[in-house]
A = this chain, B = another copy of it.
Amino acid sequence: MNKKNRFGWTALILMSAYFLTSMGFSVGETRESQALNLYPIGKVAKEKGRTFIVLDPKYAPGLLGLDRFSHVTVLYWFDRNDTPQKRAILQVHPRGNPKNPLRGVFATHSPVRPNLIGVSRCRIISVQENVIEVEGIDAFDGSPVIDLKN
């Protein structure tokens, strides 16, 4: 077999592997197939003591009418804890205090949990285009926002 031929065959095998993989025949398939597709819709922005929920502008139509309400429930992602190790933790000492007896994460608001969703009920200060100013939120600056509810 000459060099060019070998190159062609190697390329063909690599490409086939890629197409099979892209069709779902990959390792980790079972877990992947159960995964739900969650996408950030915006971010938490903290600036000089003020807190904003800044949505991707394409989601601005989803805020229609929110200005008539006093509060909004913000769902965000504890992105700083997004490691397999932290997501495997199922029991914590509430409020990080070792004197508090261990409790299951599902009986707490711990930011360490299998799915890193935080829920905060916030008072609305203003709604303008794709930006909501709220009175405050537990989330860090830059946290991905995943949903808002009245």
Contact = CB atoms under 8 A, between A and B. Distances in A.
Interface of A is mostly: mixed
A146 B75 CA distance: 13
Interface in A91-122: 91, 101-109, 113-117, 119
Contacts of A115: 38-39, 41, 75, 146-147
A36 B38 contact: yes
Given A115-B146, A117-B117, A146-B115, A90 B62 contact: yes
A147 B34 contact: no
Copies of this chain assembled into the complex: 2
A149 B104 contact: no
Interface of A: 4-5, 7-8, 11-12, 14-15, 18, 31, 34-41, 59, 61-66, 68-69, 72-73, 75, 77, 82, 90-91, 101-109, 113-117, 119, 144, 146-150
Contact of A61 (B14, B90, B109): B90
Contact of A114 (B8, B59, B64, B68): B59
Listed residue (A18, A66, A115, A144) with the most chain B CB atoms within 10 angstroms of its CB: A115
5 contacts: A11-B11, A11-B14, A15-B18, A64-B103, A65-B101
Given A38-B38, A41-B115, 17 more contacts: A7-B11, A8-B11, A15-B15, A15-B18, A34-B40, A34-B144, A35-B37, A39-B115, A59-B114, A62-B105, A65-B104, A68-B107, A73-B119, A106-B150, A109-B150, A115-B146, A119-B149
